[in-house]
Chain A
Amino acid sequence: MILLEATGAFLKTLDTWDVIYILILAAFLGVEVISNVPAILHTPLMSGANAIHGVVIIGSIIVMGHADSTLALVLGFLAVILGTLNVVGGFVVTNRMLQMFKKKK
């Protein structure tokens, strides 16, 4: 009963059902995009995906952008740094790995 109530309350907080659609579609898309990848690309692919979840930095920018307490400022600032590390480091490392795969004549 509590669980039902909770689920109801949870769904009410979402602006629309669109979010659920995005979630399900993106989940299937993720599976679809990854299947049939040769084993040699697993490492760069993992690293590339690693960079993409760095998108969490957007959350830290939003937090930081509206921060007014000292705690929020300090933690938000730290979050922006960490998120950037994830994004920049992730893409650069992936690029370095892929540079190794240039075909030789």
Chain B
Amino acid sequence: MSNLDILKLCYLLGSLSFIVGLKMLGKPDTAKKGNFYAGIGMAIAILGTIFFHQNGEGEKIGNLAWIFGGIAIGTIVGYFAAMKVKMTQMPQMVSLFNGMGGACAALIGIVEMDTHHPEAFGERFIIFLGLMIGTISFAGSMIAYGKLEGKIKDVGSKFQQIFNNTFIFAIIALVGYASYDVEFMSSNVIWIIFGASLIYGVLFVMPIGGADMPVVISLLNSFTGVAAAFGGFLYDNQVMLTGGILVGSAGTILTVLMCKAMNRSLWNVIIGAFSTSTSTGKSTEGLSIREINATDTAILCAYAQKVTIIPGYGLAVAQAQHTCHEFEKVLEEKGVEVNFAIHPVAGRMPGHMNVLLAEADVSYDKLKEMDDINPQLPNTDVVIVIGANDVVNPAAETDPGSPIYGMPIIKANTAKNIIVMKRSMAKGYAGIENELFYDSKTRMLFGDAKAMLEKLIAEVKAV
């Protein structure tokens, strides 16, 4: 078997492992194995490239010390960063790693253009496009990271949308023309495309609301996939092609699925429609809220038969998932049946809340999906909404003028008693009033989620 055959075999194994791994990642029972297989496949493809790859002139891979040095640094930093990150900060981390991949694709384009000065239209076009998409993905991911960390605010206007669209068409036109006309701006054009794409990446993510970042990350994820596939085109490299396209298409579908879970279109997310919406819900003037204290809440819960907890991002922000599990346990000791109702977009990414609660040892079968829990809520004695807002807003069902109208919600308002644990009366991410807070069955329990849950635990124990 020649070196080339071995390399092709490595790439075939790599591609297969990506497909099988991704498929297995889609099922709870096999997900972990799937991730492992994909990792092994990746290692085979990388090692195969290092030892068996030859370019057109039959030269093997050189600069091995540099390559292994780079891999060693990347492995150590990547491993510790991934192990150290808190579960609540997972989305930021994914965004950061995604940006690294995009930057890697961009650098490949720059080096190729600078060293080989290709003149064929196809080759130039592939390099420029890969550079453009990789750079946008990198810049966008960094902004998404900053937003999730709360360091960057949403900035955007109608004007900026128009500017953004014009700008991206200008970049694409430049890419097309510079591929066609080799003389055009000579060797500077690659840097101009790089710089313009950087700026576009920033402008693209800037106006999108912080709550929509998961959708954006998923979209940028598929961008990086496409950028990797362009690398595959360039080197006629099968594993880069299959891996890149697979992620590109899977990422796009995943993005659409996430949008569907919020009942919004991708376009609607990108133009940041929440911020430009006119209706902010029915006026709640003249309506009053009623407060409850920890002692009364504890008594209400301890003597209930069924309690359902509806957690939102506020729970994660307060780092209260462990305390929440404690609270669940003390109630269960009193003979109360406790469940968690998880909205598909609770947390910062779809499924994020499940990860956070699972980390706190909450049993998997206590986490109920929205469609399973909604029919049970009318028989539920107490629902406790902790740090969630829009996902329990009845306006999604009753007010066609509301920006969240049509979004599936957890029907907390159908339960017998509703306790809403919040820090203040601040609005949710959609920036709209929540009628649920003014419902006659609702009592507000103001305070930090973690401190309040600790109080509740003590009070329930004392009952």
Give the CA-CA distance A69 to B320 in the complex, in Å: 53
Check: B294 CB closer than 8 A to any chain A CB: no
Q: Interface size on A (CB < 8 Å)?
A: 88
> In the bound complex, do residue A40 and residue B108 qualify as a contact, i.e. CB atoms below 8 Å apart?
no
Taking A19-B233, A34-B22, A86-B101 as contacts, is the C-beta distance between A64 and B107 under 8 angstroms?
no
> In the bound complex, do residue B35 and residue A98 qualify as a contact, i.e. CB atoms below 8 Å apart?
yes
A residues near B62, Cβ cutoff 8 Å: 65-67
Which of B67, B218, B253 is close to A30, meaning CB atoms less than 8 Å apart? B253
- Name the distance in Å between A76's Cβ and chain B's nearest Cβ: 6
Check: B270 CB closer than 8 A to any chain A CB: no
B85 closest partner in A (C-beta)? A93
Check: B25 CB closer than 8 A to any chain A CB: yes
B residues near A71, Cβ cutoff 8 Å: 111, 114-115
Give the CA-CA distance A22 to B8 in the complex, in Å: 14
Of residues 49 through 85 on chain A, the ones whose CB sits less than 8 Å from some CB of chain B are: 49-69, 71-73, 75-85
> In the bound complex, do residue A98 and residue B104 qualify as a contact, i.e. CB atoms below 8 Å apart?
no
- Name the distance in Å between A24's Cβ and chain B's nearest Cβ: 9
Taking A48-B22, A58-B45 as contacts, is the C-beta distance between A65 and B235 under 8 angstroms?
no
Taking A37-B26, A46-B218 as contacts, is the C-beta distance between A89 and B111 under 8 angstroms?
no
Taking A72-B115, A96-B83 as contacts, is the C-beta distance between A53 and B53 under 8 angstroms?
no
Taking A34-B254, A45-B25, A82-B74 as contacts, is the C-beta distance between A58 and B239 under 8 angstroms?
yes
B residues near A27, Cβ cutoff 8 Å: 245, 248-249
> In the bound complex, do residue A43 and residue B42 qualify as a contact, i.e. CB atoms below 8 Å apart?
no
B residues near A72, Cβ cutoff 8 Å: 111, 114-115
> In the bound complex, do residue A104 and residue B250 qualify as a contact, i.e. CB atoms below 8 Å apart?
no
Check: B231 CB closer than 8 A to any chain A CB: yes
Taking A2-B180, A58-B46, A87-B42 as contacts, is the C-beta distance between A48 and B21 under 8 angstroms?
yes
Taking A33-B26, A46-B251, A93-B94 as contacts, is the C-beta distance between A51 and B31 under 8 angstroms?
no
- A12-32 interface mask toward B, CB cutoff 8 Å, 1 = contact, 0 = none? 111100010011001111110
A27 closest partner in B (C-beta)? B249
Chain B interface size band reads 35 or more
> In the bound complex, do residue B224 and residue A53 qualify as a contact, i.e. CB atoms below 8 Å apart?
yes
Taking A19-B241, A86-B101 as contacts, is the C-beta distance between A79 and B108 under 8 angstroms?
yes
Give the CA-CA distance A46 to B22 in the complex, in Å: 10
> In the bound complex, do residue A39 and residue B344 qualify as a contact, i.e. CB atoms below 8 Å apart?
yes
Taking A23-B245, A80-B67, A98-B35 as contacts, is the C-beta distance between A39 and B111 under 8 angstroms?
no
Give the CA-CA distance A3 to B381 in the complex, in Å: 67
> In the bound complex, do residue A88 and residue B75 qualify as a contact, i.e. CB atoms below 8 Å apart?
yes
- B218-259 interface mask toward A, CB cutoff 8 Å, 1 = contact, 0 = none? 100110110111011111111111111111111111100110
**Residue among B14, B228, B342 with the highest chain A CB neighbour number at 10 A:** B228
Give the CA-CA distance A12 to B108 in the complex, in Å: 22
Which of A22, A40, A86 is close to B241, meaning CB atoms less than 8 Å apart? A22
> In the bound complex, do residue B246 and residue A62 qualify as a contact, i.e. CB atoms below 8 Å apart?
no
> In the bound complex, do residue B111 and residue A49 qualify as a contact, i.e. CB atoms below 8 Å apart?
no
Taking A79-B111, A86-B98 as contacts, is the C-beta distance between A61 and B250 under 8 angstroms?
no
Give the CA-CA distance A68 to B57 in the complex, in Å: 15
Which of A10, A49, A60, A65 is close to B221, meaning CB atoms less than 8 Å apart? A49
> In the bound complex, do residue A23 and residue B261 qualify as a contact, i.e. CB atoms below 8 Å apart?
no
Which of B63, B69, B71, B122 is close to A11, meaning CB atoms less than 8 Å apart? B122
**Residue among A22, A35, A56, A97 with the highest chain B CB neighbour number at 10 A:** A56
Which of A14, A41, A53 is close to B101, meaning CB atoms less than 8 Å apart? A53
- Name the distance in Å between A3's Cβ and chain B's nearest Cβ: 9
A26 closest partner in B (C-beta)? B245
The 4 closest A-B pairs by CB, nearest first: A84-B74, A13-B122, A30-B249, A65-B61
27 chain-A/chain-B pairs, Cβ below 8 angstroms: A13-B123, A30-B22, A31-B249, A33-B246, A39-B344, A41-B27, A43-B351, A46-B254, A49-B250, A53-B225, A54-B97, A56-B105, A56-B134, A56-B231, A58-B239, A61-B46, A66-B55, A71-B114, A76-B66, A79-B107, A79-B111, A81-B74, A84-B71, A86-B97, A87-B78, A91-B35, A102-B364
